[in-house]
Structure 1
């Protein structure tokens, strides 16, 4: 049950996130659906490739494709004034998708007895892979490499689950809340991982 809920939360959040960015980039309806589906399912595809899960498993989730399609259609038909308000929530939707899919990816890896490092990689790629592909399709620098701490929170989910520190639905919900909370904090306070010192100096001079 927890697995299905995480799937639905992650799919909804990332489908909306991808569709909103497509609206922001003024993409047509095809672009909205492509970006939305890519964001919602791209991370799962990458994860399956990396840890040896059959790729065709991704197509056995008919109801998730229907949920994503419905969410993206709503975003497409909403008036611009509503979209302007929704854009403020892109980071929240993205944080929720990141957390839900990172946990789901880590659990998936654990369920097939993957090694500890594979659990961390599965969590990171499931949580952040779809957003990375979305940014490439949207002609943006991938958030995973440059934005306020992003992929690290997905890796944290894999680390925690890989060490078997999370047991049961309540602890899973707590981990979800913690990841969303810290992702939003990292955006608000502009926390960043270390950059090259020379580049940091150059940015300071540019200011």
Structure 2
């Protein structure tokens, strides 16, 4: 049940996220559906390739495809006034998708008895792969490469599940909620990982 719920939550969140961005970029209805589907299932497809699961396994998720299509249709039919609030809620939907799919990807790899490194990679790719494809197709800098902490939360999910610190349904749902909260905090309060720059800082001038 935990696996199925995370799959449904992540699919809805990322399908909505992809559809909203397509509308914001003024794509036609076909572009909205394509970007929504790619966002919802792109990360899982990349994960399957790397951990040895046939990509054709995606086509067995008929219910999830129906849920994604319904979610995209709902977004396309939303009133204009609601669509204008996308910039306010877009990162929140993305945080939900990141959290749900990172945990789902880690569980998937752990269930196949992969080592910790593979579990972490599965968590990161499932949680952020679809969003990366979405941003590239929309001509944007991927969220995972921006300054605010993003993929690190997926890595943390992979570590906790890979080391078997989190395994019961209650613990998994708690991890899901905490990951969403920390992702929201990271872009709200501008939490950043250390970085370097090649640009010289401009000297301050005094009046």
| Both structures adopt the same fold (TM-score exceeding 0.5) | yes
Q: How far did 1:78 drift?
A: 1.4
Deviations along 1:20-65, whole A, 9 cap, x unmatched? 1111111110110111001100000000011111111111000000
Secondary structure, aligned partner of 1:114: coil
Structure 2 unaligned segments of length 5 or more: list them.
Answer: none
Structure 1 unaligned segments of length 5 or more: list them.
Answer: none
Counterpart of 2:179? 179
Counterpart of 2:51? 51
Counterpart of 2:159? 159
Change (3 A) 1:92 1:49: same
TM-score (norm 1): 0.95
Counterpart of 1:98? 98
Q: How far did 1:196 drift?
A: 1.5
Counterpart of 1:197? 197
Counterpart of 1:40? 40
Matched, 1:71 2:67: no
Q: Pick which of 77-86 and 48-57 moved more.
A: 77-86
User: 2-side partners of 1:132 and 1:115: how far apart?
Assistant: 25
Task: Indicate if the aligned counterparts of 1:20 and 1:87 stay in contact, CA closer than 8 A.
Answer: no
Matched, 1:142 2:142: yes
Higher share of residues assigned helix: 1
Structure 1 residue ranges, 4+ long, deviating more than 4 angstroms after superposition: none
Deviations along 1:107-141, whole A, 9 cap, x unmatched? 00001000110000000000000000000000011
Q: Which has the larger radius of gyration?
A: 2
Report how many aligned residue pairs link the two structures. 204
User: 1-side partners of 2:199 and 2:152: how far apart?
Assistant: 21
Q: Pick which of 60-69 and 143-152 moved more.
A: 143-152
TM-score (norm 2): 0.95
CA RMSD of superposed structures (Å) = 1.5
User: 2-side partners of 1:15 and 1:200: how far apart?
Assistant: 41
User: 2-side partners of 1:135 and 1:15: how far apart?
Assistant: 13
Counterpart of 1:129? 129
